[in-house]
Structure 1
């Protein structure tokens, strides 16, 4: 139990420092985090499915500005995937808990690693004014350590304390409540799409949305087939628009 909790926390910590070490490889996204946690429990396919559901939920969640509190989807997906695979329950309850857990992770961040890194950045600025490169280097490494250690600690404690509590709640919660949670959780991926549409929807793109809806609703095509058709349409539009934007060269002797 402890070893699996430790490995899940280690995955969360490494994924959390992705953009600070690896150059934004997107391993902090729920799809990747869920798959990696699935490997810990010997079920990567189920982990990928759970991560994909969290990904749908979080597609429209973006942080705009330095102080916008975007939910900690990395920590939330690691904890919820660990809860589901560790207890052997369905994904519905965990999906319903994904946003509350992620929001709690954001709150912990604003109480721990974010203010600590602010203090370190201020100290690094003062060291830069003095030309103290050694202190600047220490502050940089300490900031990286904060962004790894505290998420690691949050997930480790969550797995050790929260997983048994999660299993207990699944056993004692009445069936009609869990059934209601399942119905509500099935709507959450649609909510993620709706949030994403608020950012991208306009009159130029609306026809493509309805084309995809018609293909799925009336032809029964899978998401992969729709994605392939979308890619083909994107290539055609790019080719035709690029052809129309080419400048026509005129020889002076022809005038």
Structure 2
């Protein structure tokens, strides 16, 4: 991987955590499937990038960050896993097995991000107490984003620039052994875990009925995902309106 490609991967990793992508980068832009497309675009193979990113995304379908906990960094896993698959020729399943530990390492950067924000909070309080309202943006936006960029861009760039070659050497050394088939088998199982976590969340509420409706639409009416998504959005709007009307009557 060229240095400029590694830097772009680091920038995309930062954008998923920053406020610049519509303010909701973590929930949209930061998904492995979306980042996989952009990483593939950087490396000249957006189709493979999207496929690998979507496969990695399946692991994290049930991932939730509640109460400040952050069990895994799906964004870093998506970027590094996709880049590894494209540059080393690994299958999507094999890339998944490599992406999982990378996602766990990414939690360290999240914790550094949280800790680094504390001094800027006190700095904003200081500006407010001194009546310098025009300087509060320095503590709330400028300095935190500079530190966040350093925490996210530099490590991701280094991993993509130096780490992929190391993985390539490991893959070459593993050819002809049972290691790669084992990684492929593990990678095939991990998405099932993500789906199971998502199903566990779905079956806790009324959403279970919509799941079965979607299943019937796909299996028996042969509707594609776009049609099912549009119908699901309309049903969700109608459901929320009826639910709000019922609560107002009570």
3-state SS, counterpart of residue 64 of structure 1: coil
RMSD: 3.0
Deviation at 1:220, TM superposition (A): 10
Separation in 1, partners of 2:80, 2:59 = 15
- CA displacement 1:68-121 (0-9 Å, x = unmatched): 1242222221111111112222222220122211110111332x3321112212
3-state SS, counterpart of residue 63 of structure 1: coil
Matches within 5 A, 1:1-150: 1-17=2-18, 19=19, 22-25=22-25, 26-65=28-67, 67-110=68-111, 112-140=112-140, 141-150=142-151
3-state SS, counterpart of residue 66 of structure 2: coil
Q: Is the 8 A contact 2:52 2:95 kept in 1?
A: no
Deviation at 1:244, TM superposition (A): 11
Structure 1 runs of 4+ aligned residues shifted over 4 Å read 210-216, 218-221, 233-247
> 1:72/1:36 Cα in 2 relative to 1: closer, same or farther (>3 Å)?
same
Deviation at 1:209, TM superposition (A): 3.7
Q: Is the 8 A contact 2:56 2:78 kept in 1?
A: yes
> 1:68/1:41 Cα in 2 relative to 1: closer, same or farther (>3 Å)?
same
Separation in 1, partners of 2:167, 2:221 = 37
> 1:232/1:87 Cα in 2 relative to 1: closer, same or farther (>3 Å)?
same
3-state SS, counterpart of residue 109 of structure 1: helix
- CA displacement 1:175-234 (0-9 Å, x = unmatched): 312212211211222211111122221474445545655676x7695xx62663475477
3-state SS, counterpart of residue 168 of structure 1: helix
Where structure 2 has 5 or more consecutive residues not aligned to the other structure, the ranges are none
Separation in 1, partners of 2:108, 2:200 = 25
Separation in 2, partners of 1:137, 1:231 = 40
Normalising by structure 2, we get a TM-score of 0.82
3-state SS, counterpart of residue 175 of structure 1: coil
Separation in 2, partners of 1:246, 1:108 = 44
Aligned partner of 2:188 among 183, 186, 194 = 186
- CA displacement 1:130-189 (0-9 Å, x = unmatched): 223354222221101222221111111101221111111112236312212211211222
Q: Is the 8 A contact 2:33 2:53 kept in 1?
A: yes
Separation in 1, partners of 2:7, 2:242 = 55
Q: Is the 8 A contact 2:33 2:57 kept in 1?
A: yes
Deviation at 1:235, TM superposition (A): 4.3
Q: Is the 8 A contact 1:20 1:144 kept in 2?
A: no
Alignment correspondent of 1:225: 224
